[in-house]
Chain A
């Protein structure tokens, strides 16, 4: 099978997976106990008004009618309107998703740069005190819940020493800005540092440990001896030959981890008051706001599925030995 065939087949699979996820989400929220209407109607309303409101959201239609409408709308990227606020779900996503992405991706890049570099060094300097320290640090980072770390950082550097902003993406009362103006402002950078550091500390362990293992494997291969025999410097061997070859599993793991990262932000967003999609997702689930909950979960699923797809393709591109037969 050629690369094109593989691409087409995987794309089809991606479509089917998305449909299955969308269907599962539809069913899941409707099977959950609790009535969404209890959040949109007020006790003072007359039964007639309650009924009209419920009808207006289509909640009285048979389930299959609701499902067909849901899938139809989904195809046209119409995710509906929030039961709670009437806001279009697409607008909710457009408001909050970029905030999450800018936080998560920054943390991710920082974590992978540091993690991979430390992974190379720990692999290279196997058995040293440096290796032990780095591995223990990585394990500690992975083990401590990031929200707890966040609270600790806020308490020490925010509440006690007033060195970092305590909450949000911008300073209180700093006024309206466009997303990009905000992102490139110094104020935003100040707010970004603490949550990124906490998240990066957590994410860093994964690439570090994978890279270390991969390095150890690569370093035991014959071509490393050949490099030494050719008289290459240790530095060149470490970075240009060993690390490059060892990088493959880290990169593919990274693609998948990025997919998961979008959803991994919930707690950290709450701790740092970051107005991201995770917080909205929780709010929507708790309030039985089906359209928003479905929309946010779909985006989450989409990111995981797409990044898996990317990882598959990436593997083939990066490693010429991989075939699609």
Chain B
């Protein structure tokens, strides 16, 4: 019995990995790396459930628990895994991460394409969509990417995660949905508070380690603060359109594919009363580039030069940039030159009293305990409350008790779990849920024997118990995932992408395997040709 080495890659998947099933017997044992239960209990349970299903399908799968740092290194640096799952977000632009995740040149250590998926035919589209300014052309390209990835399935969404906010409905109202989340500037400036202090009082489990907007690591809890402390040249509204009503720039234009010009809002001031000038914008962009601020590396690598002409700022890019406002203009917070120019190592600067120009300004920070931001009255888009307090409380049962008592009045980044499910029906608790940009990915290491064949990968995806995960583990708050770019992205989501089996996934998966020439003996998938 001989393995048909090199043949399994010839079935048109074009992933270029070649390689067959090798041994001529059972497919090898696969490892599914799981985070510890206390790190993310729901995801831990979901991975165990999927592991059972994969075994039922006939893929010998061993779920292994690793501490998060180890797990992440094994998957992204060592590629020592078969299946992996964690949360992924696409951000405001659905195409921004596509090249990072699937381009053939990005399969190296730490490169982002950790599944090792290669498809030379898709590579040009992955890059071109990032440079295409015409939206319809870009949508077409993203649709093609979704269709291809959906068929080749190196990565597949298990559940689409919603943005959820829980709040005390006697005190807080007026929430509006936004793809990015309720902490985005637009919903945050719409929300209304009805309590004696006119305060929005939220809580988070972990301490805020820093208030340096150039020296943090994109953690959600800090992003929530900086979103309101700093302005950005262009903000994207809930319709996913650049919106001058929300933006520091009141007008913008693109003379050509590699240039963008912004007209800065006149008369706006920093929280300390200094004028916010076009020179501040020029300083910010040059400062970030000169100091190679890691957090904004994707952005500073894009532009070459910045110039100022009256209220206009011109940014020259080295290559054409397509969705410039989604991947660039709304990413970089504008910082005051008079505060930052004296800091020689900005990425390591210790900032305890940040000065920005956003709708909320710094009030006080009791480290490890509480952060208070107050309304910046002179902002063009002011918030409707006087103060926002962010209290550090590690115990989630305490948090929910305080929410029901009215001591806290909103939980800004509510985790889906038992507490949410148990408390959502309480009389004074409101829960808002909106489609988000993120999902739990089911990623398959295409370098592994068997997983180098898309038929096996498709069979595995058929077997994902999405419904059970959503109903039993996510308490029905999430949605089953079918497409890499979900419906929350509107026209960017390809509606024609076929769904994998919704109900009897095991049978459907086994059918795919048999059609592709695999056999199943004693409940285990045998490598192609082994029964011949």
A residues sitting closer than 8 Å to B (CB atoms) are: 33-36, 38-47, 49-50, 52-53, 56, 81-82, 84-88, 91, 95-96, 99, 151, 154-155, 158-159, 162, 166-170, 172-173, 175-176, 270-271, 273, 275-276, 279-280, 283, 286-288
Residues of B with C-beta under 8 A to A286: 67-68
A–B Cβ pairs within 8 angstroms, 28 of them = A34-B67, A38-B68, A38-B69, A40-B217, A43-B112, A46-B301, A47-B111, A81-B348, A85-B216, A86-B348, A87-B209, A88-B350, A95-B368, A155-B397, A166-B405, A166-B407, A168-B393, A169-B369, A172-B370, A173-B387, A273-B393, A273-B398, A275-B207, A275-B368, A275-B369, A283-B206, A283-B207, A286-B68
Q: Does B152 contact A (CB under 8 A)?
A: no
Closest chain B residue to A47, Cβ basis: B110
Query: What band does the interface of chain B fall in when counting residues whose beta carbon is under 8 Å from A?
Result: 35 or more
Residues of B with C-beta under 8 A to A39: 69, 217
Residues of A with C-beta under 8 A to B311: none
A2→B523 CA distance, assembly (Å): 79
CB distance from B177 to the nearest CB of A (A): 25
Q: Is the CB of A52 within 8 A of B292?
A: yes
Q: Is the CB of B112 within 8 A of A44?
A: yes
Report the 10 A-B pairs with minimum CB-CB distance, sorted nearest first. Answer: A85-B209, A275-B368, A34-B69, A176-B364, A34-B70, A85-B210, A35-B73, A49-B297, A159-B401, A38-B72
Tell me the total A-B contact number using a CB cutoff of 8 A. 157
Closest chain B residue to A275, Cβ basis: B368
CB distance from B19 to the nearest CB of A (A): 26
B residues sitting closer than 8 Å to A (CB atoms) are: 66-70, 72-73, 76-77, 97, 100, 108-112, 197, 199, 201, 206-207, 209-210, 212, 215-218, 292, 294-295, 297-298, 301, 347-350, 364-370, 372, 387, 389, 391-395, 397-398, 401-402, 405, 407-408
A129→B426 CA distance, assembly (Å): 47
Residues of B with C-beta under 8 A to A41: 110, 217, 294
Residues of A with C-beta under 8 A to B212: 86
Q: Is the CB of B217 within 8 A of A42?
A: yes
Q: Is the CB of B217 within 8 A of A279?
A: no
A166→B395 CA distance, assembly (Å): 10
Residues of A with C-beta under 8 A to B347: 56, 86
Residues of B with C-beta under 8 A to A276: 368
Beyond A166-B401, A273-B395, A275-B368, 15 additional pairs, beta carbon < 8 A = A34-B66, A34-B70, A41-B294, A42-B218, A46-B298, A85-B215, A87-B210, A96-B367, A154-B395, A167-B391, A167-B398, A172-B408, A173-B389, A270-B395, A283-B206
Closest chain B residue to A35, Cβ basis: B73
A46→B366 CA distance, assembly (Å): 35
Residues of B with C-beta under 8 A to A35: 69-70, 72-73, 77
Residues of B with C-beta under 8 A to A151: 395, 397
Take A42-B217, A96-B368, A168-B369 as given contacts and tell me if A162 and B405 are in contact as well, using a CB distance cutoff of 8 Å.
Answer: yes
Cβ 8 A contact of A86, one of B210, B218, B368, B398: B210
Q: Is the CB of B217 within 8 A of A84?
A: yes
CB distance from A280 to the nearest CB of B (A): 7
A273→B372 CA distance, assembly (Å): 17
CB distance from A130 to the nearest CB of B (A): 37
Residues of B with C-beta under 8 A to A275: 207, 366-369, 392
Closest chain B residue to A159, Cβ basis: B401
Residues of A with C-beta under 8 A to B217: 39-42, 84
CB distance from B325 to the nearest CB of A (A): 18
